[in-house]
A and B are shown apart, each in its own frame.
Chain A
Amino acid sequence: MMFSKLANRTALVTGASQGIGRAIARRLAAHGARVVVSASGRAPDLLDETCGLIAAQGGTAAPLLADLSDQCARADIIHRAEQLFGPLDILVNNAALVGAYAPPSKIDLAARHAAFEVNFEAPVDLMQQVLPGMRERSWGRILNISSETVKQPPPPYVGPPKMIHALVAYGASKAALNRYSAGLAAELHGSGVHVNAVAPYKIAWSENADQIARATLAFRPDWVEGVEMMAEAAYILISGNHTGFIGTSREALYLNQTPLHGLDGETVLGDASTLVTGNGG
């Protein structure tokens, strides 16, 4: 391991069974952090796969099955995670739920509740659970994963309008999370606990976004980024001293003037402006 800047740090990454969460977990582990990777109980083998990938690169990880959609089930998640590698220094709230692909005029209360529960209430609960320890130790890093859907795209839309309308409620829940992140960062100013939020510029090419990423690549190659971009941004915001940053992955790289690395933390793949090539990130 080339840069062990996070040696002796412990991290919890939610939604780490694939995609952005898995990439961030791998990247943090590559820098020496011991990582608890969590996901709902639906795909325990994928979570084990994430741990296997981390072990194969010489890192330390352990799985934690946790249902974030249930307020009671998530009441002791931080406590359970801290049983594995000790007190948590780093929390990455990555798990998210669309609820339903339905336009704002129709998306029903159940779907809205489900989305806000996973995308806002659960991250806030986890932050509030992890904060006392971080404050006591005067060091903590919280990273909330956001989305470009926090903003309505200007007309003319790229692609069918119904896809724009279908993500309004999701974007609203992420807008709330962004505002909360900025507010918590401000409240914690000077405490040593930093809070940031980062989103892909448009689409991170993860397993669960494979179809949309391929379709988008055909007409807007600049809209697609590899999951390494989010992992790099996460590493920058966790290992560095920024707080209250609410922006995109590429902005984080640009701000920091550091290259884009692979998930091993060593291989240089490009920089803030690197585009993915035809076969994936």
Chain B
Amino acid sequence: MVWQADLTGRRALVTGGRRGIGAAIATRLAAQGASVIIAADGENAEGVDALLDQIKSAGGQASAVFFDLAAPAHRRDAVAKAGEAFGPIDILVNNAAANNYEPPSSMGAEFRRLMFEVNVHGPVDLMQQALPHMRAQRWGRIINISSASTAQPPLPYPGAAHHTHGVAVYGASKAALDRFTIGLAAELNGSGVHVNALMPSNVCVTSANSEAARAALRAHPDWAEGVEMMAEAAFLLIAAPLSGLVMKSRDVLLMMQQPLHGLDGRSVIGDAHTIPDLS
């Protein structure tokens, strides 16, 4: 096993990085030495400046890039633009995602299309843009953020049925992304470029949680995890030489027998089993 826990000199692009899971992963990667580029939609950039300040004041390097992931023309040179701040991208975290919580019987074509652009085609475009540099230097890490909703949950549902139905089409888009993840990892076998998918187990508590997620947490407080769990798992998948995995955050910590750290990467705040206090 060749670990690379020190990410100094590596450049990471994190989409949807202004809040929630994306912000946590960006903060953690910066704490491990990486220069991070936060990608956000220019129309919806609230919180980006504060996050950049926060990372920099903790001694990290951070910059932002703005593009609309839903628009093919707008994302065409996204990775190149992201590389302008610190150099070409070595680590890509496809975290941005969209859902409107409509059930499968009625989610309209227009939103479905937008959702598959943001959740599938956008991430694939960014991977394809990032690959030439990663392959050339024989080192690259891609993490695609997935979701437990890729599988239809068993009965009885954890909360109101419409919450379950409201993540079905979203789950379909993430299932497609998972399939790309595994297929690309297989294609890149031996290249030094590793591709993995990572999902919360089961709900990452963030300011961006939907009502569906909040309802699930009320029914199952043990489904909650702090953003540190996803940040830890993402860091571990980047530091370790693993590829082709689609994993839940806690399983990554368990598999690698690593503690849960704070976003500073130093303070130990628990382990794979830690449940945040929601009260």
The chain A residues found within 8 Å of chain B, CB to CB, are 71, 103-106, 109, 112-113, 116, 120-121, 124-125, 127-128, 131, 150, 152, 155, 161, 164-165, 168-169, 171-173, 175-180, 182-184, 186-188, 244
Contacts and interface: CB of A to CB of B under 8 A. Distances in A.
Main secondary structure of the interface of A (DSSP, over half): helix
Nearest to A182: B152
A131 B105 contact: yes
B124 interface: yes
Contact of B172 (A106, A120, A188): A120
A171 B168 contact: no
Contact of B187 (A105, A173, A175, A187): A105
A128 B72 contact: no
Given A150-B179, A165-B187, A109 B125 contact: yes
Nearest to A152: B182
B71 to A, nearest CB: 12
A172 B180 contact: yes
A10 to B, nearest CB: 21
A40 B50 CA distance: 53
B183 A109 contact: no
A106 B188 CA distance: 12
B104 A184 contact: yes
A104, A150, A182 pick with most chain B CB within 10 angstroms: A104
A105 B152 CA distance: 29
B175 A71 contact: no
Contacts of B116: 116, 120-121, 176
Interface string B166-195: 001101110111111011101110000000
The 10 closest A-B pairs by CB, nearest first: A183-B168, A168-B183, A172-B179, A179-B172, A182-B152, A172-B176, A104-B184, A176-B176, A176-B172, A184-B104
Contacts of A178: 172, 175
Contacts of B161: 186-187
B56 interface: no
B104 A105 contact: no
A185 to B, nearest CB: 8
A165 B125 contact: no
B27 to A, nearest CB: 30
A176 B103 contact: no
B61 interface: no
Given A128-B106, A152-B179, A244-B152, A182 B168 contact: yes
A172 B183 contact: yes
Contacts of B176: 116, 120, 172-173, 175-176
Interface in B131-163: 131, 150-152, 161
A179 B152 contact: yes
A161 B176 CA distance: 20
Contacts of A186: 152, 161, 164-165, 168
Contact of B175 (A116, A152, A176): A176
A194 to B, nearest CB: 14
Given A168-B179, A184-B168, 18 more contacts: A104-B127, A109-B72, A109-B124, A109-B125, A116-B121, A121-B112, A131-B105, A152-B182, A152-B244, A171-B183, A172-B180, A172-B183, A176-B116, A176-B173, A177-B172, A183-B172, A184-B105, A187-B104
A156 to B, nearest CB: 12
A39 B268 CA distance: 60
B77 to A, nearest CB: 14
Nearest to B106: A128
Nearest to A112: B121
A152 B105 contact: no
5 contacts: A165-B183, A179-B175, A182-B168, A184-B168, A186-B161
Nearest to B182: A152
Interface string B15-45: 0000000000000000000000000000000
A234 B184 CA distance: 32
B186 A165 contact: yes
B209 interface: no
Contacts of B72: 109
Nearest to B152: A182
B168 A105 contact: no
